[in-house]
Amino acid sequence: MDSKFESDSKSDFLIIGGGISGLSAALALEKYGKVLILTKGNKKSNTYYAAGGIAASGPWSDDFEGHIQDTIIAGDGLCDPEVVQTIIHKGTERIKDLLEWGVDFDKRSATQFDLGKEGGHHTRRVLHHEDLTGKAIIETLLGRVASCPNIKIRPEQVAINLIEIDGTCSGVYVLDQNVGKIYTIQAKAIILATGGIGKVYLYTSNPDVASGDGIAMASRIGAEIINMEMVQFHPTCLYHPLAKNALITEAIRGEGAILTDIRGKRFMEGIHPQKELAPRDIVARAIDLVLKETGDDYVLLDISFKDAEYLKKRFPGVYETCMKFDIDFTKQPIPVVPAAHYSCGGIKASISGATNIPHLYAIGECTCTGFHGANRLASNSLLEGIVCGHECGEEVGKKYGQLPLPNISLKEWSEKNITDSKEAFVISFNWAEIRNVMQNYAAIIRSDSYLLRARHRISLIHEEVDTYYWNFKITADLVELRNLLTVARLIVESALARKESRGAHYTLDYPQKGNVVKDTSIKRYW
């Protein structure tokens, strides 16, 4: 693909992000006009690494009400019941689309799916393809997109800033990593599908692309950002000095795995009736408390008492990952730690992605629709992504498809008096400091004193990064650093604003639930 674009590129519709929500929106939009998708790198988005599956109710698991109630219970008082009902009911048709397009969900027989059970679910309703569900879905959607002449994907493109004109989102500045040039794109509507914020923490299950770009860009033009304190930590990521972003799927606990400390003492039995299958926030906090009390670096996840051949067939991804580090989980426990996994907060958006900024839409993990509340139910993320992506594509297409592009001129990015930096270490040093500050002061267990320390350190980093940003040539690493810094500030300020413990937000100063504060809202921060 030619990477030398005109300085003022135009498209009917622009989607930033190529995960399940972005691709689903594109497939719904393409009948209404030309769709351009920008991606930072390859196909390995957060969706690609989604191992467990996609929770969905339909003929295969006729339990809509149970799914709704499990979602609301996990959300701990912050779910919007109407949103939950709508997404779960609309999910049936979207699953049928995936089946029609060729996603090969595992089956027990010719007519019966092999449904998984994960934390917070009271019955089996998780469709999966081995433990590589996200990979199977992404590859299917990409194949579908490739057959649509109205959809084009530009890889190696980094969105820098949204362009706001008279209160309306009119375009975006983009860095083409292939040639190192910055250009503009104008579109009738811009859809953010940029995924999560995991890289703001030292330990995360997310890939390197999860730097909170959409949330940061939207915040800078005045989009409402809510509930950013609700960062979900996955209880079980592989602990090994050479492992990176190695998620150990929750489905393993769904098949009977137990958690113990390194001395073999099981600790979930007295904490929650569902034991290891309690909601993620409860399991992650229990592990964190064990580590703090014992001083150990990790706990153990053990399913070695199950049949080895069954485990290899059911969890080939986990088996392959663990064996890279000489851990045979069919014979020994897996060392695990909690890691930042999913942002339940984000850009305030409707099911169809509408935000408070005209012509700006947002879908997927970068949003807060009210579906997940204070804590996401396992395997509900892919469901939200595919439903909201489709709904967004339909709404945007019907609303803007017949309208012409506004006759405006976007101001070009100025790099006058900007030089190449000879101090790139400033980026890597500040990136590392942000992640350490957030991991130590704003992670699973918080307090006002921790958060105030984080605020102070982040404000000092901000001064250095801001000076660097405006004086040296823009690079992808610098853009991501700036976005992570914005996200860190949003998380800390939102956490300070919530004077209670609820869902994924737990603070030592306010350990009980208070009166329900529906949203901690922050506008135009930095």
Active site residues: 280
Residue 336 three-state SS:
strand
Nearest residue to 192 (alpha-carbon basis) of 208, 216, 168: 216
How many residues does this entry show for the chain? Answer: 526
Cα 17 from Cα 157, distance rounded (Å)? 10
- Angle in degrees, CA 372, 375, 381, rounded to 5: 50
SS (H, E, C) 437-471: HHHHHCCCCECHHHHHHHHHHHHHHHHHHHHHHCC
Q: How far is CA 360 from CA 12, 191, 419, 524, in A?
A: 13, 6, 33, 15
Find where tokens 């006729």 sit. 62
Q: What is the DSSP string of 17-59?
A: --SHHHHHHHHHHGGGS-EEEE-SSSS-STGGG--S-EE--BT
Instruction: List CB contacts of 5: < 8 A, sequence separation 6 or more.
Output: 154, 176, 183
- Asked if 206 contacts 245 with a C-beta cutoff of 8 angstroms, the reply is yes
Phi, psi of 341 (to 5 degrees): -130, -45
